[in-house]
Amino acid sequence: MDCTFATMQREDLEFVNKVRNECREFLHDDRTFTLAETNDWYNKTNPRWLTIFKMDLVIRVGYIRLAFDEKEYPHTTTIYVGMDIAKEKRRLGIAKQVFPMLLAMCKAKGFKTAKLEVLSNNIPAFELYKKLGFHSVDIKLHQQPVKKEPLLSIVMELPL
């Protein structure tokens, strides 16, 4: 499946909300959000997220979360990345295809390190990140707001 990504737009929010809620068990915040709450979040934060499409730029398959220290930009050298794929599109190699393109883009923008956190219960994602060259640098104890179960959050990084 040939994929690409583009800056997330307001018209992507219904899709982003659906996928985010589908993925909540693998996220640090496992709450469910309404579309109105997602719109409020978008208006307040103006996130630097990307929507993943099949090559035709019509069919959305996932999204990419990007974050970095705004106060330090453009001098910051670390970017935090994450990716969520629509439930029906998982295990098709989308993340494996898109991550190298994403990391190349981050490097071209001057970032030296990509970091991410993955919950220890998300074994497929952890294995993918290892195959992509990320290595574990820290482990944090985490508790999701809804389940209240203690989980380990593995911090991983990759020099770009």
Task: Identify the CATH class of 3-159.
Answer: alpha beta
pTM: 0.89
Copy the structure tokens of residue 122: 């998300």
Q: Is the pLDDT of residue 89 over 90?
A: yes
Predicted local distance difference test score (pLDDT) of residue 71:
64
Q: What is the DSSP letter of 24?
A: G
β-bridge pairing 150-159 and 113-119 = antiparallel
Each residue of 95-117: pLDDT tens digit? 999 999 999 999 999 999 999 99
Residue 50 vs residues 7, 27, 90, 149: alpha-carbon distances, Å? 4, 17, 17, 30
Predicted local distance difference test score (pLDDT) of residue 151:
86
Strands across the sheet containing 135-143: 3-7, 50-54, 60-67, 78-85, 113-119, 150-159, 135-143
Q: Read out DSSP for 99-150?
A: HHHHHHHHHHTT--EEEEEEETT-HHHHHHHHHTT-EEEEEEEEE-TTT--E
